[in-house]
Amino acid sequence: MMRGAAAALVVLRKELADALRDRRTLATVLVSSVLMGPLVLLAISGLVATLESRAEQREVYVAGLAHAPTLRNYLERQTYTVKEAPADFEARLRSSKFSDPVVVVPDDFETALVRGDVPVVEIVSDSANQRSEASTGRIERLLGGFSRERALLSLALRGVSVQLLEPMQIEDRDLASTQTRATRITGMLPYFVMMAVLYGALNAALDTTAGERERGSLEPLLMNPAERWALVAGKWGAVACVSMLIAVLSSFSFLPGQWVLRSDTLAAMFQYGLREALLFLVVLLPLAAALAAVLMAVAIRSKTFKEAQASATIVVLAVSLLPLVNLFELGGEAPWHLWVPALAQNTLMTRILKGEDLGLAQVIVPLSVCVLLTAVGVWYVARQLRQAALK
Amino acid sequence: MIEVHGVAKSFAAPAPARRGFADAWRGLARQRKDERQKVHAVRDVSFTAHGGQITGLLGPNGAGKTTTLRMLAALITPDAGTMSVDGIDVAKRPREVLARMGVLSDARGLYPRLTARENIVYYGALQGMERDAADARAQDLARMFDMTALLDRRSAGFSQGERMKTALVRALVHDPANIVLDEPTNGLDVLATRALRESLRWLRTPAGGSKCIVFSTHIMQEVERLCDSVVVVAHGRTVAAGTVAELLERTGESDFEEAFVKLAFVPERAGEGGAA
């Protein structure tokens, strides 16, 4: 046993040195994982900032403004700047060159309004043009206000009490905390972190298994008196170390990433401090270890690195698709989510971002799943090793 | 000393090329049904190699040399027969056997991102040596094989000969009493082959440690020039054993190549020659 552990350490040391010398691959993975945090945050904050500035601008585009002085008067009283829409607004909305919905007023708006003919006002947006779609609700509420005002005015003229028309008052009360609201925007961060961990493990895992077969170095390796489990344990340890390193780097990359937040609201909502980073690691490190073992188990069956890359696609696909269950919120959060690797980690990291505490049970379940996966993966590789060396 | 008695090994015939899942499934079903045709790689190979001697395992391509040596290195479990190294049973205590044996196998891949020295020291460490001791030994062996200049270069750009030398030194790093080489001269040029031959001769002498050296080859000139005893393997069986002179005498030939062809390529003789 002692000798086995010593041999495992020898293998671990060599594999780590080997992996760290693969500079180009390592650099690609490192740069993408370390820069990823700030980049994703930058993109999100850019988006939020434009939405905010649009809301602050209080502008509304109207086509056929000249036919609707009453509407114009109302809009201006709501402190909106009313602008005439460009003539080709439909084409520009379609091609996403124009990012505001347009209110289209019919020619006979004013006369129909006076006669009580219920003129039709269109709000034109393109649901494929997300930025215009985002402001539609705001314009709808604005025009609704106009309708209500007209109705109230004409009823008041006829001596009807306003309370009769609005027998109840509606007020919004949002239960979500600032952080909970922020996860609607930062919800994809855990996903990116997990992909970084996966790709961190991928190359090293393939290199120590299929790569070793392809080079023809596995057969001589097995002609050493080291136990097979020790060889595999060492290899797994090295792969897990690389992937954990990526996990650490990408988790901490969000700390400086906060400085680049352009939107003040988002900066206030996105609470990611040392505590969150450490909790991320509690969730991610077991996953990194399990992914290392699973990828090795998949790759040991392949004779070449290339073949192994093809087989590993299944693992990559699973890790990228499972969290989508969360993203689409199919049936909300269910207890079984914690039993599914990748999905569980995504769920937990989302909770951390929401500022919720992790219970012991929530950590234990995914942890034991990861430990089990690791054990099975390492056992399988050890079992296949001799056969793999021969072919 | 290496003793091999009547080992045999058969494999399932390689499956025909499969495309797609349906085909693979059918192949699997067929495999279960008729247990697949067997290919007898080794039927009955026996030989004894002594310390201070070079024993050549001579045979045509596909005679079962590599499979035999792989069984000796505990990489394949034989179907029948026994093998021992310095009296230690390979089947029962494979790790002790591997510690007393340096094997240069058919596959001799190096780690391209490591230097020759790191490649060698890695195997020394796996054999349980201290890193310093392994490093010193690498230095000594490198001097012997004239590759000191290579030691601190990464093995990525090595030529065939340089790679072979590194792999050989790697196999010898723990100073094993028994050395097994599978077609070591494959891909080597004349000078490298000659250097290897010199090194093996030296390892055989008391000064070199009186090693027990077994090497397989299909080149009879190698055998003629180097071997103290020859084991001729054909169709998975030992068909003859003895010194070069004895084999010449037995076949009544003066040319060793003729003698080899007579011994190895006559299928009917295969059954009789088993006693080594």
Strands B212-217 and B178-182: parallel
Given its phi and psi angles, is residue B242 left (phi above 0), alpha (psi -120 to 50 degrees) or beta?
left
Cross-chain CB nearest to A389 (options B75, B99, B128) = B75
Interface of A with B in 153-212 (CB under 8 A): 212
A148 and A257 together in one domain: no
Which residues from chain B sit within 8 angstroms of residue A219, using beta carbons? 75, 105-107, 109
B72 contacts on A by Cβ (under 8 Å): none
Closest of A216, A198, A203, A204 to residue A303, by C-alpha: A216
Q: Confirm whether A107 is domain-assigned.
A: yes
Closest residue of chain B to A208, computed from CA coordinates: B111
Helices B116-126 & B160-172, crossing angle to 10 degrees?
30
Q: What is the pLDDT at residue A265?
A: 66
Kindly report the CATH number assigned to the domain that includes residue A116: 3.40.1710
Find the CB nearest A224 among B104, B110, B123.
B123
Q: Which of B75, B98, B110 sits opposite A219 (nearest CB)?
A: B75
Chain A: closest CA distance from residue B86 (Å): 16
Domain-embedded: residue A240: yes
> To the nearest whole number, what is the mean pLDDT of chain A?
84
Is residue A163 located within the same domain as residue A199? no
Interface test with B, best of A221, A223, A227 (most B CBs within 10 A): A223
Q: Is A113 among the domain residues?
A: yes
Contact A225 B127 (CB under 8 A): yes
Specify whether A288 is located in the same domain as A196: yes
Q: According to the model, what pLDDT value does residue B210 have? A: 92
Domain shared by A268 and A200, yes or no: yes
A52 domain residue, yes or no: no
Of A11, A215, A226, the CB nearest to B109: A215
The verdict on A146 and A191 lying in the same domain is no
Pick from B103, B112, B118: which is nearest to A223 by CB? B103
DSSP state of A64: S
> Residue A300's pLDDT is what?
94
Q: Which of B75, B122, B171 sits opposite A222 (nearest CB)?
A: B75
Total number of residues shown for chain A: 391
What pLDDT, on a 0 to 100 scale, did the predictor assign at position B264? 83
Interface check for A3 against chain B (CB to CB < 8 A): the answer is: yes
Tally of structural domains, chain A? 2
Of A6, A18, A216, the CB nearest to B109: A216
> Residue A148 domain-assigned?
yes
- Helix or strand or coil: residue A20? helix
Distance (Å) from the C-alpha of residue B207 to the closest C-alpha of chain A? 26
pLDDT value for B274: 40
Same domain as A187, residue A166: no
Domain boundary among A127, A145, A173: A173
Q: What does the alpha-carbon distance between residue A49 and residue A53 come to, in Å, rounded to a whole number?
A: 6
| pLDDT at residue number B268 | 47
Q: Which of B225, B253, B229, B222 is nearest to B243 (CA)?
A: B229
**In this complex, do A225 and B111 lie within 8 Å of one another by their Cβ atoms?**
no
Using DSSP, state whether A329 is helix, strand or coil.
coil
Shortest alpha-carbon distance between residue A295 and chain B (Å)? 21
pLDDT single digits (tens) A143-165: 888 888 888 888 888 888 777 76
Q: Which residue of B has its CA nearest to A217?
A: B109
**Which chain A residues in 309-328 lie under 8 Å from chain B, judged by CB atoms?**
none
B119 to chain A, closest Cα gap in Å:
9
Of A18, A219, A225, the CB nearest to B95: A225
Per-residue pLDDT tens over the stretch A205-214:
999 999 999 9
CA distances from A150 to A103, A154, A300, B45 (A): 18, 6, 75, 106
Query: Is residue A246 one of the residues assigned to a domain?
Result: yes
Task: Report the chain B residue with the minimal C-alpha distance to residue A388.
Answer: B75
Q: Is residue A68 located within the same domain as residue A9?
A: no
Instruction: Write out chain A residues lying below 8 Å of B163, CB-based.
Output: none
Residue A51 lies in a domain: no
What is the per-residue pLDDT across B168-185, written as a single tens digit (0 to 9) for each?
Answer: 999 999 999 999 999 888
Handedness of CA B20, B25, B28, B30 (dihedral sign): negative
Chain A residues within 8 A of B170 when measuring between CB atoms: 220
Q: Does A301 lie at the interface with B, CB-CB under 8 angstroms?
A: no
The answer to whether the CB of B221 falls within 8 A of the CB of B58 is no
Nearest chain B residue to A19 by CA: give it.
B113
- Work out the widest C-alpha separation in chain A, in whole angstroms: 102
Q: Residue A241: CB partners within 8 Å, gap ≥ 6?
A: A12, A16
CB-CB under 8 Å, A18 with B113: yes
Query: What residues in chain B have their Cβ under 8 A from chain A's Cβ atoms?
Result: 70, 73, 75-76, 94-96, 98-99, 101, 103-114, 118, 122-123, 125-128, 167, 170-171
Q: What pLDDT, on a 0 to 100 scale, did the predictor assign at position B31?
A: 56
Give the pLDDT confidence score for residue B258 in this predicted structure: 86
Q: Are residues A224 and A304 in the same domain?
A: yes
Residues A195 and A168 in one domain: no
A147 contact partners, CB below 8 Å, separation of at least 6: none
Q: Same structural domain for residues A207 and A128?
A: no
User: Would you call B107 and A216 a contact, using CB atoms and an 8 Å cutoff?
Assistant: yes
Å from B20 to nearest chain A CA?
14
List CB contacts (< 8 A) between A21 and chain B: 113-114
Domain of residue A66, residue span: 58-173
Contact, A276 vs A332, CB < 8 A?
Answer: no
- CATH fold, domain B2-95+178-274, is Rossmann fold (3.40.50)
Sign of CA dihedral B214, B215, B218, B221: negative
The pLDDT of residue B269? 45
* Side chain identity at residue A30, one-letter code: L
pLDDT tens across A364-388, in order?
Answer: 999 999 999 999 999 999 999 888 8
**How close is the nearest chain B Cα to the Cα of A279, in Å?**
36
pLDDT digit string (tens) for chain A, length 391 residues? 667 889 999 999 999 999 888 888 888 888 877 787 777 777 777 777 776 676 667 788 888 888 888 888 888 888 888 888 888 888 888 887 787 888 888 888 888 888 888 888 888 888 777 777 777 888 888 888 888 888 888 888 888 877 776 777 777 666 666 666 666 667 778 888 898 899 889 999 999 999 999 999 999 999 999 999 999 999 999 999 999 999 998 888 888 766 766 666 666 667 788 888 899 999 999 999 999 999 999 999 999 999 999 999 999 999 988 888 876 765 667 788 888 888 899 889 888 888 887 888 888 999 999 999 999 999 999 999 888 888 6
Q: Which residues, given as ranges, of chain B have pLDDT below 50?
A: 268-276
Asked which of A121, A141, A173 is the last residue of a domain, the reply is A173
pLDDT at A329: 66
Q: Indicate if A143 and A207 belong to the same structural domain.
A: no
Q: Which tokens is B120 given? A: 């060698």
CB atoms A220 and B170 under 8 Å: yes
DSSP codes, chain B: -EEEEEEEEEEEPPPPP--HHHHHHHHHHHHHHH---EEEEEEEEEEEE-TTEEEEEE--TTSSHHHHHHHHTTSS--SEEEEEETTEETTT-HHHHHHTEEEE-S-----TTSBHHHHHHHHHHHTT--HHHHHHHHHHHHHHTT-GGGTTSBGGG--HHHHHHHHHHHHHTT--SEEEEESTTTT--HHHHHHHHHHHHHHHSTTTT--EEEEEES-HHHHHHH-SEEEEEETTEEEEEE-HHHHHHHHT-SSHHHHHHHHHS-GGGGGGGG--
Q: Are strands B53-58 and B2-12 parallel, antiparallel or unpaired?
A: unpaired
- Encoded tokens for B114: 């490591």
Backbone angles phi and psi of A327, in degrees to 5:
-60, -40
Name which of B95, B86, B18 is nearest B51 in CA terms: B86
Separation between Cα atoms, residue B167 and residue B160, nearest integer Å: 11
Q: Are B105 and A218 within 8 A, CB to CB?
A: no
Residues A102 and A35 in one domain: no
List chain B domain ranges.
2-95+178-274, 101-175
Q: Which of B95, B107, B113 has the CB atom closest to A22's CB atom? A: B113
The SS3 call for residue A103 is strand
pTM of structure:
0.80
Please identify, among A173, A192, A215, the residue that sits at the C-terminal boundary of a domain.
A173
